[in-house]
Amino acid sequence: MKLVTILVLGSLAMGSTARADQPGPDWMPMEQVKAKVMESGYSQVTKLEADDGRWEGEGIKNGQKMEFHANPKTGVIEREKPDH
């Protein structure tokens, strides 16, 4: 019974680790990306995380809640849309 419990817990831990993306070694640091996003017209960045090989975030621009994707190496916003 203990072995089964250990195997189940171990696979759960590995599964959650595999889904979490980490910034690459050559990526712009998170704080610099936030600053770059703010320079591009955002008044607030409410979320920023590494996902699918890029920085993905949420924030406020022109009073509207937005989602954005930023280049991992330059911090430049490559895609943005209203967050509904």
Name the band, by pLDDT with cuts 50, 70 and 90, for residue 2: low
* Domains assigned to the chain: 2-82 (3.10.450.40)
Could you write out the three-class secondary structure of the chain? CHHHHHHHHHHHHHHHHHHCCCCCCCCCCHHHHHHHHHHCCEEEEEEEEEECCEEEEEEEECCEEEEEEECCCCCCEEEEEECC
Mean pLDDT of the chain: 85
**0.85 exceeded by the pTM?**
no
61-81 residue pLDDT tens: 999 999 999 999 999 999 999
